[in-house]
Amino acid sequence: AQTVTQSQPEMSVQEAETVTLSCTYDTSESDYYLFWYKQPPSRQMILVIRQEAYKQQNATENRFSVNFQKAAKSFSLKISDSQLGDAAMYFCAYTFDSATNKLIFGTGTLLAVQP
Amino acid sequence: KAGVTQTPRYLIKTRGQQVTLSCSPISGHRSVSWYQQTPGQGLQFLFEYFSETQRNKGNFPGRFSGRQFSNSRSEMNVSTLELGDSALYLCASRLTGGGYEQYFGPGTRLTVT
């Protein structure tokens, strides 16, 4: 069964510092997509970054980057130069089937940013 | 381009009643998915519609149903509400042929009393 595990329920980072959120997944598929979503207190789910499993290069979006280790089934998110607005719940998510949009989510990591 | 919209944003219902939630996807997106978010179960996939057809369904009882209209707008219905149905219901749309990313609406907060 496909599962997504986020082992850090809560994390804290100082403003302007760097933080890494962990995510591991379990799948027997060779082709799949991984995502990080951010859910601030407003509850709006916002796409942060995506990674295609067939791409070896790690995805980057401004201050957000991932460390994708396919063999280890690991997909961590690095936030550089943390800002107060980065405070939110972060969810790692996975999908593999082109015939469906079903996303499998982790349990989330609540990130606090200290001024 | 407008994002995914969901109505209503908040809803309070009584046990045994039924409820209908609405979702309008991003213009041009024909695929709509629904998710339930609760503190205990996290984010769970309910179902997905594409071109007015249900393509996939999560592990929820038959009280949960949905449909999609020709303009890609989608509704989900929950009949015979139970206290455990209290949750944030999120709708997401996706551009077919795109990169699999889904864009979420602000959600409908349903409280069952």
Contact B107 A43 (CB under 8 A): yes
**Distance in angstroms (rounded) separating the CA atoms of residues B107 and B91:** 7
What pLDDT, on the 0 to 100 scale, is given for residue A110?
A: 97
Tallying the residues shown for chain B, one arrives at 113
Residue A83: the pLDDT is 97
pLDDT at B99: 66
| Percent of chain B topping pLDDT 90 | 87
Radius of gyration of the CA atoms of chain B, in A: 13
Q: Give the minimum alpha-carbon distance from A2 to chain B in angstroms, rounded to a whole number.
A: 13
Select from B100, B103, B109, B111 the residue whose CB has the most chain A CBs within 10 Å, as the one to mutate to test that interface: B100
Which of B101, B108, B109, B111 would you mutate first to test chain A, the one with the most A CBs within 10 A? Answer: B101
Of A57, A62, A113, A93, whose CA–CA distance to B90 is shortest?
A: A93
Q: What is the mean pLDDT of residues B45-59?
A: 93
User: Mean of the pLDDT values across residues A60-80?
Assistant: 96
At A99, is the pLDDT very low, low, confident or very high (cuts 50, 70, 90)?
A: low
- pLDDT for B2 equals 80
Query: Taking all residues of chain B, what is their mean pLDDT, rounded to a whole number?
Result: 94
Chain B residues lying within 8 Å of A45, measured CB to CB: 90, 92, 104, 107
Nearest CB to A100 within list B55, B101, B109: B55
